[in-house]
Amino acid sequence: MLRAHVHDPAGPRWWRAVTTLGMFPLMAAAGLLTWWSETLRVEALVVAAAWLVMGRVVIPRLRPRECSVTIEPGAITLENAGLAAQRIEARDLRAASTSRLSDGACALALVRHEEGDPVLWLELASRAEIDRVRQALGIRHGGFGMLRWPPAQGTYHSVPTRVDVAASLGWLAILVAVLFQATEVALGFALFTVPLTLVAMVMATRPRPVGRGLAMTPHGLELALDGRASFLPWSEVVDAEVQGTELCLRTRTGTEALSMREAQASEREHVAAQIRSSARRARGEGPPPPEVPASLEVLAPRNEGRRAWLERIDATAASMAEASGYRQAGVAPSELWAVLESPDAPTYLRAAAARVLARVAPEEAGKRIGDALAMEHDGDARVRIQVALEEDVDVAARELERLDLRR
């Protein structure tokens, strides 16, 4: 178990669901519990309706907190984290990337469930701990996907707008009027509060317009300032730092400032650190990805067709399956398992390892290969490993050649 800090302003999915949809049980109770007084039932309906917008005003975004991280194949569990406690599975992830913070700690950025969802930042003490979490979630050394600020998806826990505040005050006035049984007054407030609520709901769920924000992609930084969109390759990004509530980007051609007033202070620092780390990786700085054991180079494609490569892999598997044991071919079984389950290993080696292991250790290979495929975030890599498991060499070779042409 690891100690960490979790920063998840929007909260896990269950928290968003409860705080967003919590009014429906109250509505159901008001309609079904006939032993409630009429006044109490009306008040319950008003509170339920008011929660559609008041929740955005009164429920704060979650603050950073300490937690314990339990690691298992394909998932991690954040424990002792209060409302931020949750289980994160590899299949839930839509984007991920690592960074080094200014205090020397390491961070892992995770986007769950939907592309453009709010980022969860997990801080750990060392690169080794980050690598353990990354390995469990099938995240490659350079990460994958896109990180956005502000989130592309409208979220319940985003900063409330003036419309939210106005609608909340209207519902508060209606609730007070109902408590004093001033029906006409309540109906009067409802004439403008209900339309405001509908507008607030639409604004909360629509995708955010391109006006001000950034997106960190594998190839560079997409930047939007006052409606002006631009793209900066990582090679053009020199540094990023936080100055007050602004994120200042230093590029080879000048400096850009992005206001992040709505973000929490730790969120600004994480975004700056992520930009710095991504730019350094693009320049070849920082720790390199894990190396592949030299003994496995025997499985690498050479100047040959796909069919010849697959036949050579099958010959290696046949040699390993002989009575003299696995090591006859010079390949250790532990190395095959390690390369199969490593998100950093080249796809062709993972596919070759899967084909060999499916032949020499079929009882164990079925589940472990399935787990490795379930954690694979690269669709092309997943398909190639699956194709390599095809028994018929001709069929597998044709499909691999077809995939090569699509690149």
CA distance 263 to 260: 5
The token pair that represents 241 in the structure block = 């730092």
With beta carbons less than 8 A apart as the criterion, state whether 186 and 174 touch: yes
What pLDDT was estimated at residue 205? Answer: 64
pLDDT score for 303:
87
Instruction: Work out the average pLDDT over 153-178.
Output: 72
Average of per-residue pLDDT across 207-219: 75
- The more confidently predicted of residues 58 and 386 is 386
Name the pLDDT band for 156 (thresholds 50, 70, 90). Answer: very low
195: preceding bond cis by omega (within 30 degrees): no
Chain segment 32-52, per-residue pLDDT in tens: 666 777 777 777 777 777 777
pLDDT at 133 over 90: yes
Mean pLDDT, residues 285-303 taken together: 82
Confidence of residue 95 (pLDDT cuts 50, 70, 90): very high
Residue 128 neighbours by CB distance under 10 Å = 9
Domain boundaries, the chain: 294-406
- Mean pLDDT calculated for residue range 148-168: 70
Whole-number pLDDT of residue 383: 93
How much is the average pLDDT of 325-347? 78
Q: What's the confidence (pLDDT) of residue 56?
A: 65
Residue 350 is predicted with a pLDDT of 94
234-251 pLDDT, tens digit each? 989 999 999 999 999 999
What is the residue type of 77? T
Q: Mean pLDDT, to the nearest integer, of 62-83? A: 92
pLDDT over 80 at 396, yes or no = yes
**327 pLDDT more than 50:** no
Does residue 380 or residue 187 have the better pLDDT? 380
5 confidence band (pLDDT: 50, 70, 90): very high
DSSP H/E element including 192: helix 183-205
φ, ψ of residue 142 to 5 degrees: the values are -90, 5
pLDDT at 154 over 60: no
**What pLDDT shows up at residue 193?**
85
Specify the pLDDT at position 78: 96
| pLDDT confidence bin for 323, thresholds 50/70/90 | very low
Tokens of 329: 């071919």
Q: Give pLDDT, residue 405.
A: 85
Q: Write out the DSSP string of 53-119.
A: HHHHHHSPPPPPEEEEEEEETTEEEEES-GGG-EEEEGGGEEEEEEEE-TTS-EEEEEEESSTTPPE
pLDDT at 324 over 70: no
pLDDT tens across 346-371, in order?
Answer: 999 999 999 999 988 888 888 899 98
Split at pLDDT 50, 70, 90, the class of 326 is: very low
Average pLDDT, the chain: 84
Share of the chain above pLDDT 90, in %: 38
Per-residue pLDDT at 18 exceeds 90: no
CA distances from 63 to 5, 259, 266 (A): 10, 20, 9
Q: How far is CA 96 from the centre of its chain?
A: 5
pLDDT at position 130, please?
Answer: 93
State how far the Cα of 85 lies from the Cα of 69, in Å rounded to an integer. Answer: 10
